[in-house]
Each structure stands twice: as structure tokens, then as C-alpha cells.
Amino acid sequence: MLKRMIGIELRKALKNKLFYITILLGCSITMLSFVNSIAIYQNELLMQEHSAGNPMQALSNVFNNWSGGETFSLGSSIYFFVLPLLAAIPYGWSYCEEKQCGYVRMAAARGGKTCYYLSKYIAVFLSGGLGAVIPLLFNFLLTSLFIPATLPTPVYCTSNGVFFSSLMSSLYYTVPVLYVLLYLCIDFVFCGLIACISYCAASLVRHRSVTVILPMLLLLSFHYSRQFIYTSSTIRYKEISPMYFLRPVAAAYTASWAVILAEAAVLFTATMVVSMVWERKHEIY
């Protein structure tokens, strides 16, 4: 029964106009970054042609030109800023809608509350993760068609944005493709959990647009709380804000496994408790 309900929820989540719109929006935003990267790369090629000096071929590669690999283009800045929205828009609103229209009682009475809530959680998680990561993957693959996958070198670490203390820096300079894939996995999991915040918001909120936007504002508020934590200019802090550490290349402070895993665990626990314990305990009117 659970398998069937998961199948039904996944079909609703992934064969859904808002999911397609999110992918399209995401890809359009990453195209901005792509166009910028190509322009910069072509400019570098032109300069290399007319220069007799060191061509610095390892300076520009796909790993520091794709949307996640750079932190200074408009496209990548917009993308990672609206990432919580891109995660929640595909299916995060569905529980709110189904609660309001009464569909919950139809599905729960047939499949049981546990099956319904769990399958909904899984579908929201997967749709959120995919909605956020597919455009990044698209951008990476598109960029790799035009810019070579030269192995990055630590000599140009300022251009790469990955330093000695950065997360998985040794992987970046040895097997950068794996670095990219791992970071996409981190983004997938985190964005899935962000979408689940949207799902859980339906316990408090009646409008689906509000449930979709709430995770972004929560993350923005959490991002602001850095002002109270990062008070010293001499301490090497670790990045705590998902709006920054979900970027494969650090925008401010470097990411750390401890912070990422801890925040993911907290998010997972909180969303699970709300959906599987709190909501499930309530009667369905």
C-alpha cells in the first residue's frame, strides 16, 4: 500500500505544471550565468591568442565557470538566492491544498494516515530536491560542452574559490567531477528538506503561496542571524547559512560537514515530527 501511495504521490509531484515551470525558471536563471561564463572564457581565449606570456590554461575550466562553481555572476547569485523557492514551488504546497479541499480524508481513509503522510513527505522531498538540482546539472553539462574540464590547480585558488580550508578541497583538486556530484547531492538533500518545511507549514497556514514562501523567509532570517554570530574579524568561522553553504564554492565563510549534517539532521527531525507525529495525531475534518 505504501509503495502504491508513494507512486501516486510521485506522479502527482513530478507530472505537475509547477514542477515543469520550476525547472524552466531554474534553467533560465542558470543560463544567465552560462552566458556570462562563456563571454568571460571567450575573452580569455582572445587575450591568450594575442599574448606571448603564460596562457594559464588551468585558470579557466568548467569547474570554476559553471553556475555553482563561481560566486560573482548575476545568474548564480539569483539562483542560489531563490533556491528555497525553487525547492518549495514544485510540490511543497500540495498538503496545504489537499487539506483545504478535503482530499486528505479521501486519501487517508483509503490508505491510512501513516502511508499518506509518509508518501507525501517522500514526494515533497524528492520534488524539492529535483527542482533545485536539475537546473544546476543542466548548467554544468551545458557549460562542459563549451569550456574544457581541465583539472583545477591550487595555484589559481583565488579564481577557483576553493582554498585549503574549504570543504572537500582535496577532492576538488583531484577528482573535481566527484566534488561537483557530491555537492549536488548535498543540495538535493537540503533542498528536499527545505521543501518539507513548506509541507509542514500547512499545519499553521491556510494559503498555499504562503507555505511556499515561508521557507525562504525562514532561511533569510536565519541568514541574518549570522550578524550576531560572526562578530570577530580574526576568527575563521564556518558558514552556517544554507543560503551560502549550499553553493559549491564559498561566498563568505567555508562550509563544514559538521554544520551541514547538523542542520540537515535538525531539519529532518523537525519536519518528520511535524508531519508524522503532530499532523498524524490530529483528526481529519
Partner 1 sequence: MVQIEVDHVTKRIHKNTVLQDVTAVMHEGRIYGLQGVNGSGKTMLMRMIIGLIRPSEGRVSINGRVLGKDIEFPESIGFLLENPAFLGRYSGFDNLNMLAGIRRLAAPEQIRESIQAVGLDPMDRKKYRKYSLGMKQRLGIAAAIMEAPDIVILDEPTNALDEAGIGLVKGILTEQKQRGALVIVSCHDIGILKELSDEIFRLDAGRVVEHLCMDSVQ
Partner 2 sequence: MRFIKDLVFDFRQGILRSGTLLLVPAVIAAVTFFDFYAKARRYLEQGMIQSTVDYGDYWFYLYGGMCEYIPSPDNPFQFPAVWTLIFLVLPFIILNYPFRDMYGVGQQILVRSGRRSLWWLSKCCWNFCGTVLYHLIIQAAGLVLSLVFEVEISNRIHMDFINLVFNIRYQEVWNPSSLPVAALLLPVLVSAAINMLQMTVSLFIRPMFGFFSVAVLLLASAYLLSPLLIGNYAMAFRYDWVLKAGVSMEAGMRIAVILLLLAALTGLVRFWLYDILESE
Summarize as ranges the residues that interact with partner 2 (CB under 8 A).
Answer: 25, 29, 64, 70-74, 77-78, 81-82, 85, 89, 93, 158-161, 207-210, 212-213, 216-217, 220-221, 223-224, 226-228, 231, 244, 249-252
Please report how close the Cβ of residue 81 comes to partner 2 at its closest, in angstroms. Answer: 5
The smaller minimum CB distance to partner 1, of residues 115 and 197, is found at 115
Please report how close the Cβ of residue 114 comes to partner 2 at its closest, in angstroms. Answer: 29
Among partner 1, partner 2, none, residue 101 binds (CB under 5-8 Å by kind): partner 1
Among the listed residues 35, 39, 106, 229, the single contact to partner 1 using CB under 8 A: 106
Using rule CB under 8 A, residue 276 touches partner 1: no
Using rule CB under 8 A, residue 6 touches partner 1: no
Q: Which grid cell is 223?
A: 541568514
Which of 128, 136, 127, 177 lies closest to 31, judged by CA? 136
In angstroms, the Cα distances linking 215 to 80, 130, 200, 204, 261 are 14, 17, 10, 13, 19
Which of 258, 260, 238, 262 lies closest to 250, judged by CA? 238
Among partner 1, partner 2, none, residue 85 binds (CB under 5-8 Å by kind): partner 2
Q: DSSP strand E in the chain: where?
A: none
Among partner 1, partner 2, none, residue 158 binds (CB under 5-8 Å by kind): partner 2
The smaller minimum CB distance to partner 2, of residues 211 and 275, is found at 211
Using rule CB under 8 A, residue 279 touches partner 1: no
Q: Which grid cell is 60?
A: 579557466
Q: Report the DSSP beta bridge partners of residue 133.
A: none
Residues 6+ apart with CB under 8 A from 153: 58, 173
Q: Largest Cα–Cα distance in the chain?
A: 76
CA distance 66 to 238: 24
Among partner 2, partner 1, none, residue 97 binds (CB under 5-8 Å by kind): partner 1
Using rule CB under 8 A, residue 7 touches partner 1: yes
Among partner 2, partner 1, none, residue 221 binds (CB under 5-8 Å by kind): partner 2
Total binding residues toward partner 1, as defined by CB under 8 A: 25
Q: Which grid cell is 173?
A: 583538486
Cβ(129)–Cβ(14) below 8 Å: no
Please report how close the Cβ of residue 281 comes to partner 1 at its closest, in angstroms. Answer: 10
Residue 42 identity (one-letter amino acid): Q
Using rule CB under 8 A, residue 113 touches partner 1: yes
Please report how close the Cβ of residue 72 comes to partner 2 at its closest, in angstroms. Answer: 4
CA angle (240 as vertex; 199, 250 as ends), nearest 5: 110
Among the listed residues 44, 84, 103, 130, the single contact to partner 1 using CB under 8 A: 103
- Stretch of 3-11, 156-164, 211-219, 233-241 lying at the interface with partner 1 (CB under 8 A): 3-11
Among partner 2, partner 1, none, residue 44 binds (CB under 5-8 Å by kind): none
How many residues are there in the chain?
Answer: 285
DSSP per-residue letters across 268-281: HHHHHIIIIIIIHH
